Structure 1
Amino acid sequence: MQIYFHETLDPVRALGAHSRYLDQLGEIVHREGNAEGSAGGELIAMWIPIFLTGHWPQMVSFWQGPGSWAGFGAHFDSHQDLFHKPLERWYGERSGGFDRVLVGTDYTPTREALIGRGQRAPVVLHQTIRLKPGGGAGYLARLGEARQAIGTAYGFSLLGAYEVAFRNGGEVILVWSFPNVLALTRAESRPEDFPEWAAWIRQSREHEQDHVGVVMRPTAWSFVK
């Protein structure tokens, strides 16, 4: 199973700080692949919430980790610093953040597959969903069946589905790709126009305990955008 890293980053509330951070990080990931001392991942996308739909200013970076759990363990056993080296570099541009380790489902395409097929995701609906402990596996299995029915016929599709590690199987993150905000708002306001999508929404409500959706756009230097 493929491991992913999900970071929610809070920029410093200062003029130009968020832009400086994005510019510097974009240069680093395209020149070096990752910042020295980081978790060994490869960037998939950096998303910025559309400010009316979530906490702002904020950034969400999404990385594919170094393989499976074995790669995760090997990386952190060989990097035992309490604070990784890039931290001080960013003190002027970000005030903190919140990280998650994600486990991809077997139907979630890897970074290589997404890039190889030229996957487009100009607008994403990012959903953080809480379930009863242990409910994640069954929920994601049901979604795997629903995603086939939804397909791509409507112009939007599931980009990836992930169980959040260290949450006792009680949290998942879903990322849906939309061609534009208008298509997303139609799916949100008129789900009956998309029968398979509406059926999944009805089914998902039977199992969810909390559900937060945020609309986001990728930076120009994201690898999937």
Structure 2
Amino acid sequence: MSGLFFHETLDPVRAPGAHTRYLSELGEIVSTIGNAEGSAGAESIAAWVPIFLNGDWPRIVTFWEMPGGWGGFADHFEKYRELFHGPLERWYGERSGGFDRILAGTSFTPGRQQLLTADRRAPVVLQQIVDLRSGGAETYLDLLSRAWEEIDATCGFSLLGGYETAFRHGTEVMLLWAFPDMRTLVRLQEQPTEFSAFHAWQRQARDQESGHRALILRPTDWSPLR
């Protein structure tokens, strides 16, 4: 595995303007100081909002890389030992809760700097959260390692990364796919056999999966990856 990432699903307060205010303040922090002090020390890769008609709402998804990998993760939480660090208080007026994941990237998953240096674009993102039998993440991601290059080369969309969710005993994987536009994603759903490399991968993947949840996301205008 390569790189350590932080994936955050946030539930804004159900009140007019709350999600907009939250994203505006978060964007200012990301654009100026990188991140709020004490909040896992991570560096922003993207901030996304699910499209309507596509799951729970309102909702915000943020994605970060943790500098220093596991060592940096441990150092951070040795330094910040308080149960609730100060900057959290500023967010409680705009969000009602959330759900966090720590993700370990594969050897073929680019880090934040690689994505930015390559000027990668992801106007539409398909997020897939996959449930597997205990210990199944390694096999699942190994299958993906043999398929992603052909998908990238032939399908008109690309893999942003494949990740194993940490502390889950190998039972959960997250995949992020970058699409140039909504029409390409809809075409994949409508006519999957036209995308032969991805279709072949899906047939293999389904044999491994015990559950699958997908979410279509679009980036904020200040998102580093957009």
Percent identity, please: 55
* Number of aligned positions between the proteins: 225
Alignment of 1:38-57 (within 5 A): 38-57=39-58
Q: Please report how far the alpha carbon of residue 159 of structure 1 lies from its aligned counterpart in structure 2 after TM superposition.
A: 0.6
1:134, 1:17 → 2: CA distance?
40
8 A Cα contact 2:55 2:215, kept in partner:
yes
Q: Which residue of 2 aligns with 1:195?
A: 196
Matches within 5 A, 1:10-29: 10-29=11-30
- 1:74-223 to 2 correspondence within 5 Å? 74-223=75-224
CA distance in 2, matches of 1:111, 1:123: 18
* Structure 1 moving runs of 4+ over 4 Å: none
TM-score normalized with structure 2 length: 0.98
Task: Please list every run of 5 or more consecutive structure 2 residues that lacks an aligned counterpart in the other structure.
Answer: none
Q: Distance in 1 between matches of 2:62 and 2:86?
A: 18
Q: Is the contact made by 1:44 and 1:224 (CA closer than 8 Å) also made in structure 2?
A: yes
Question: Is the Cα–Cα contact under 8 Å of residues 147 and 197 in structure 2 kept in the other structure?
Answer: yes
- Take 2:124 and 2:58, find their aligned partners in 1: how far apart are those partners? 17
Q: For residue 148 of structure 1, report the CA deviation from its aligned partner.
A: 1.5
What are the ranges of 5 or more consecutive residues in structure 1 without an aligned counterpart?
Answer: none
* TM-score (norm: length of structure 1): 0.98
2:3 aligned partner: 2
Q: Give 1:107's aligned amino acid.
A: F
The Cα of 1:84 is off from its aligned counterpart by 2.0
Give the Cα separation in 1 of the matches to 2:53 and 2:85: 33
Q: Tell me by how many angstroms 1:191 deviates.
A: 0.9
Q: Quick one: which amino acid aligns to residue 35 of structure 1? A: A
Distance 1:154 1:202 in 2: 16
Pick which of 119-128 and 64-73 moved more: 64-73
